[in-house]
Amino acid sequence: MIILALDTTSAGGSLALASDGDLMDESTGNPNLTHGEQLPGELQLLLDRNGLTSGTIDRYAVAAGPGSFTGLRVGIATIQGLALVHNRRVVPISVLDALVEAAKKLAVDSKSGPEIIVPFMDAKRGEVFSNVYAPSRNEKSSNLVTQGGNEWTAISEPVAMAPKEFIEIWAETLAGQRVLVIGDGVQSYGSLLTGQLGAGSSVFAETPPLAGVIAVMASVVPWCYRGVRPHQIRPLYVRRPDAEISRDKRRHRM
Protein backbone atom coordinates (compact mmCIF):
# COMPACT_ATOMS: atom_id res chain seq x y z
CA MET A 1 0.00 0.00 0.00
CA ILE A 2 1.40 3.38 -1.04
CA ILE A 3 0.65 6.36 1.22
CA LEU A 4 1.00 10.02 0.28
CA ALA A 5 1.23 12.30 3.33
CA LEU A 6 1.13 16.07 3.61
CA ASP A 7 1.97 18.40 6.49
CA THR A 8 1.14 22.09 6.13
CA THR A 9 0.88 22.97 9.82
CA SER A 10 4.13 24.93 9.81
CA ALA A 11 6.04 27.21 7.45
CA GLY A 12 7.40 25.25 4.52
CA GLY A 13 5.70 22.02 5.49
CA SER A 14 6.60 18.66 3.96
CA LEU A 15 5.43 15.87 1.65
CA ALA A 16 6.25 12.17 1.81
CA LEU A 17 5.56 8.75 0.35
CA ALA A 18 5.59 5.49 2.29
CA SER A 19 5.00 1.90 1.24
CA ASP A 20 3.99 -0.82 3.72
CA GLY A 21 5.52 1.00 6.66
CA ASP A 22 8.76 2.08 4.94
CA LEU A 23 9.53 5.66 3.96
CA MET A 24 10.04 5.92 0.19
CA ASP A 25 10.70 9.62 -0.32
CA GLU A 26 10.13 12.96 1.36
CA SER A 27 10.65 16.63 0.63
CA THR A 28 10.42 19.85 2.61
CA GLY A 29 8.98 23.12 1.37
CA ASN A 30 10.32 26.65 1.21
CA PRO A 31 9.30 28.54 4.38
CA ASN A 32 9.46 31.81 2.44
CA LEU A 33 6.61 30.75 0.13
CA THR A 34 2.98 30.08 1.02
CA HIS A 35 1.69 26.54 0.82
CA GLY A 36 -0.67 27.61 -1.95
CA GLU A 37 2.24 28.90 -4.03
CA GLN A 38 4.45 25.84 -3.81
CA LEU A 39 2.20 22.88 -3.01
CA PRO A 40 0.87 21.87 -6.45
CA GLY A 41 4.32 21.88 -8.01
CA GLU A 42 6.09 20.16 -5.10
CA LEU A 43 3.43 17.45 -4.98
CA GLN A 44 3.78 16.75 -8.70
CA LEU A 45 7.58 16.65 -8.43
CA LEU A 46 7.37 14.07 -5.64
CA LEU A 47 5.06 11.86 -7.68
CA ASP A 48 7.10 12.23 -10.89
CA ARG A 49 10.34 11.43 -9.06
CA ASN A 50 8.86 8.10 -8.00
CA GLY A 51 7.08 7.26 -11.25
CA LEU A 52 3.64 7.68 -9.69
CA THR A 53 0.45 9.62 -10.30
CA SER A 54 -2.16 10.74 -7.79
CA GLY A 55 -4.34 7.93 -9.08
CA THR A 56 -1.80 5.25 -8.10
CA ILE A 57 -1.82 6.33 -4.44
CA ASP A 58 -3.71 3.81 -2.31
CA ARG A 59 -4.37 6.07 0.66
CA TYR A 60 -3.70 9.62 1.73
CA ALA A 61 -2.63 11.00 5.10
CA VAL A 62 -2.63 14.55 6.39
CA ALA A 63 -1.49 16.48 9.45
CA ALA A 64 -4.79 17.40 11.10
CA GLY A 65 -3.34 20.00 13.47
CA PRO A 66 -2.75 21.84 15.61
CA GLY A 67 -0.97 24.50 13.61
CA SER A 68 -1.51 27.53 11.42
CA PHE A 69 -5.21 27.94 10.56
CA THR A 70 -4.44 28.84 6.95
CA GLY A 71 -1.91 26.04 6.60
CA LEU A 72 -4.33 23.50 8.00
CA ARG A 73 -7.08 24.55 5.61
CA VAL A 74 -4.78 24.41 2.58
CA GLY A 75 -3.38 20.99 3.47
CA ILE A 76 -6.67 19.35 4.33
CA ALA A 77 -8.44 20.82 1.29
CA THR A 78 -5.66 19.55 -0.99
CA ILE A 79 -5.83 16.02 0.38
CA GLN A 80 -9.63 16.05 0.37
CA GLY A 81 -9.64 17.01 -3.30
CA LEU A 82 -7.24 14.24 -4.30
CA ALA A 83 -9.03 11.64 -2.21
CA LEU A 84 -12.43 12.62 -3.58
CA VAL A 85 -11.29 12.45 -7.20
CA HIS A 86 -9.76 9.01 -6.75
CA ASN A 87 -12.24 7.64 -4.19
CA ARG A 88 -9.60 7.04 -1.52
CA ARG A 89 -9.66 7.22 2.25
CA VAL A 90 -7.59 9.64 4.31
CA VAL A 91 -5.80 9.06 7.62
CA PRO A 92 -5.82 12.34 9.61
CA ILE A 93 -3.07 12.40 12.24
CA SER A 94 -2.45 14.89 15.03
CA VAL A 95 0.90 16.65 14.81
CA LEU A 96 1.30 16.05 18.55
CA ASP A 97 0.93 12.30 17.97
CA ALA A 98 3.45 12.54 15.13
CA LEU A 99 5.97 14.25 17.41
CA VAL A 100 5.56 11.47 19.95
CA GLU A 101 6.20 8.94 17.19
CA ALA A 102 9.30 10.91 16.15
CA ALA A 103 10.51 10.64 19.75
CA LYS A 104 10.57 6.85 19.30
CA LYS A 105 13.86 6.85 17.37
CA LEU A 106 15.43 9.39 19.69
CA ALA A 107 14.65 7.25 22.72
CA VAL A 108 15.99 4.01 21.24
CA ASP A 109 19.61 5.01 21.83
CA SER A 110 19.10 6.05 25.44
CA LYS A 111 19.96 3.62 28.26
CA SER A 112 16.72 4.33 30.08
CA GLY A 113 13.74 5.50 28.04
CA PRO A 114 11.38 8.31 28.98
CA GLU A 115 8.48 7.86 31.37
CA ILE A 116 6.71 10.92 29.94
CA ILE A 117 6.80 12.41 26.42
CA VAL A 118 5.84 16.05 25.89
CA PRO A 119 5.42 17.42 22.34
CA PHE A 120 6.22 21.13 22.52
CA MET A 121 5.18 23.07 19.39
CA ASP A 122 5.76 26.79 18.94
CA ALA A 123 2.21 28.13 18.47
CA LYS A 124 3.42 31.76 18.04
CA ARG A 125 1.83 34.60 20.05
CA GLY A 126 3.90 33.52 23.06
CA GLU A 127 2.18 30.12 23.29
CA VAL A 128 2.89 26.45 22.67
CA PHE A 129 0.70 23.63 21.47
CA SER A 130 1.33 20.78 23.84
CA ASN A 131 0.09 17.70 25.62
CA VAL A 132 1.43 15.01 27.95
CA TYR A 133 1.82 11.36 26.93
CA ALA A 134 2.48 8.34 29.12
CA PRO A 135 2.68 4.57 28.53
CA SER A 136 -0.88 3.33 28.00
CA ARG A 137 -2.51 0.85 30.31
CA ASN A 138 -5.67 0.78 28.23
CA GLU A 139 -5.26 -1.24 25.05
CA LYS A 140 -8.60 0.07 23.79
CA SER A 141 -7.54 3.71 23.92
CA SER A 142 -8.36 5.58 20.70
CA ASN A 143 -5.19 7.70 20.84
CA LEU A 144 -2.30 5.25 21.00
CA VAL A 145 1.20 5.91 19.69
CA THR A 146 3.53 2.91 19.47
CA GLN A 147 6.96 3.76 20.83
CA GLY A 148 9.75 1.27 21.39
CA GLY A 149 7.31 -1.63 21.71
CA ASN A 150 5.15 0.28 24.17
CA GLU A 151 1.88 2.10 23.57
CA TRP A 152 1.71 5.77 24.49
CA THR A 153 -1.46 7.76 24.97
CA ALA A 154 -2.32 11.35 25.80
CA ILE A 155 -3.22 11.77 29.46
CA SER A 156 -4.64 15.27 28.97
CA GLU A 157 -6.35 17.35 26.32
CA PRO A 158 -4.16 19.24 23.81
CA VAL A 159 -3.75 22.89 24.74
CA ALA A 160 -2.53 26.21 23.41
CA MET A 161 -1.12 28.24 26.28
CA ALA A 162 1.86 30.19 27.53
CA PRO A 163 4.77 27.75 28.03
CA LYS A 164 5.43 29.00 31.55
CA GLU A 165 1.81 28.31 32.51
CA PHE A 166 1.95 24.83 30.97
CA ILE A 167 5.15 24.00 32.86
CA GLU A 168 3.66 25.26 36.14
CA ILE A 169 0.54 23.09 35.71
CA TRP A 170 2.65 19.98 35.10
CA ALA A 171 5.55 20.91 37.41
CA GLU A 172 5.15 17.92 39.74
CA THR A 173 4.95 15.41 36.89
CA LEU A 174 7.85 16.94 34.96
CA ALA A 175 10.12 17.08 38.00
CA GLY A 176 9.36 13.58 39.21
CA GLN A 177 9.97 11.50 36.06
CA ARG A 178 12.25 11.07 33.06
CA VAL A 179 10.74 13.38 30.45
CA LEU A 180 11.45 13.65 26.73
CA VAL A 181 10.40 17.02 25.31
CA ILE A 182 10.35 17.35 21.53
CA GLY A 183 9.36 20.08 19.06
CA ASP A 184 10.28 23.51 17.74
CA GLY A 185 8.92 25.07 20.92
CA VAL A 186 12.12 23.87 22.62
CA GLN A 187 14.16 26.29 20.54
CA SER A 188 11.92 29.21 21.48
CA TYR A 189 11.16 28.36 25.10
CA GLY A 190 13.67 25.69 26.11
CA SER A 191 15.24 27.95 28.74
CA LEU A 192 12.01 27.73 30.76
CA LEU A 193 12.51 23.96 31.03
CA THR A 194 15.91 24.30 32.69
CA GLY A 195 15.76 22.76 36.15
CA GLN A 196 12.11 21.74 35.72
CA LEU A 197 12.65 18.21 34.40
CA GLY A 198 13.49 15.06 36.32
CA ALA A 199 16.87 13.32 36.26
CA GLY A 200 17.62 11.57 32.97
CA SER A 201 15.30 13.84 30.97
CA SER A 202 16.15 15.20 27.53
CA VAL A 203 14.96 17.88 25.10
CA PHE A 204 15.05 17.86 21.30
CA ALA A 205 14.38 20.94 19.18
CA GLU A 206 15.24 19.27 15.88
CA THR A 207 12.63 16.95 14.40
CA PRO A 208 12.42 15.14 11.06
CA PRO A 209 9.97 16.32 8.38
CA LEU A 210 6.63 15.35 9.89
CA ALA A 211 5.09 14.25 6.59
CA GLY A 212 7.56 11.37 6.58
CA VAL A 213 6.59 10.38 10.10
CA ILE A 214 2.89 10.66 9.26
CA ALA A 215 3.25 8.63 6.04
CA VAL A 216 4.85 5.73 7.92
CA MET A 217 2.33 5.96 10.77
CA ALA A 218 -0.58 5.78 8.30
CA SER A 219 0.93 2.61 6.85
CA VAL A 220 0.96 0.59 10.07
CA VAL A 221 -1.28 -0.49 12.96
CA PRO A 222 -3.21 1.13 14.56
CA TRP A 223 -3.25 4.15 12.25
CA CYS A 224 -3.88 2.24 9.03
CA TYR A 225 -7.32 1.32 10.37
CA ARG A 226 -8.29 4.95 10.95
CA GLY A 227 -8.88 6.02 7.38
CA VAL A 228 -11.99 8.15 6.86
CA ARG A 229 -13.89 9.55 3.92
CA PRO A 230 -12.55 12.95 2.83
CA HIS A 231 -15.54 14.88 4.17
CA GLN A 232 -15.08 13.29 7.61
CA ILE A 233 -11.72 14.94 8.33
CA ARG A 234 -11.94 17.17 11.41
CA PRO A 235 -9.13 19.71 11.92
CA LEU A 236 -7.57 19.83 15.36
CA TYR A 237 -7.45 23.57 15.90
CA VAL A 238 -6.98 23.67 19.74
CA ARG A 239 -6.91 27.48 19.62
CA ARG A 240 -9.99 29.39 18.50
CA PRO A 241 -9.76 31.17 15.14
CA ASP A 242 -9.00 34.91 15.22
CA ALA A 243 -12.28 35.62 13.44
CA GLU A 244 -14.27 34.05 16.28
CA ILE A 245 -12.33 35.93 18.94
CA SER A 246 -12.81 39.26 17.12
CA ARG A 247 -16.52 38.55 16.69
CA ASP A 248 -16.95 37.88 20.42
CA LYS A 249 -15.11 41.07 21.30
CA ARG A 250 -17.43 43.09 19.06
CA ARG A 251 -20.46 41.52 20.73
CA HIS A 252 -19.18 42.45 24.19
CA ARG A 253 -18.80 46.07 23.11
CA MET A 254 -22.46 46.31 22.10
Q: What is the pLDDT along the chain (254 residues), one digit of tens a residue?
A: 999 999 999 888 999 999 999 999 999 999 899 998 999 899 999 999 999 999 999 999 999 999 988 999 999 999 999 999 999 999 999 999 999 999 977 876 556 789 999 999 999 999 999 999 998 765 444 455 544 445 899 999 999 999 999 999 999 999 999 999 999 999 999 999 989 999 999 999 988 899 999 999 999 988 999 999 999 999 999 986 554 544 544 554 55
- Same domain (yes/no): 109, 165: yes
Shared-domain flag, residues 148 and 161: yes
Q: Is 176 left (phi over 0), alpha (psi -120 to 50) or beta?
A: alpha
Q: Which residues contact 58 (CB under 8 A, 6 or more apart)?
A: 1, 2, 3, 88
**Burial grade of 8 (CB within 10 A; 0-12, 13-18, 19 or more):** buried
Last residue in a domain, options 188, 204, 220: 204
Q: Which amino acid is at 168?
A: E
The predicted structure's pLDDT at residue 11: 87
60 and 104 share a domain? no
**Are 69 and 106 part of one and the same domain?**
no
Which residue intervals of the chain are DSSP H helices?
A: 35-49, 69-86, 95-108, 163-169, 171-176, 185-189, 210-217, 242-253
Residue 248 lies in a domain: no
160 and 191 part of one domain: yes
CB atoms within 10 A of CB 99: 28
The answer to whether the beta carbons of residues 130 and 166 sit under 8 Å apart is: yes
Task: Give the pairing type, strands 14-19 and 2-7.
Answer: antiparallel
Residue 249 resides in a domain: no
Structural domain boundaries, residue 143: 95-204
Instruction: Return all residues near 86 (Cβ < 8 A) that are at least 6 apart.
Output: 54, 55, 57
Residues 199 and 217 placed together within one structural domain of the fold: no
**Integer-rounded Cα radius of gyration of the chain:** 18
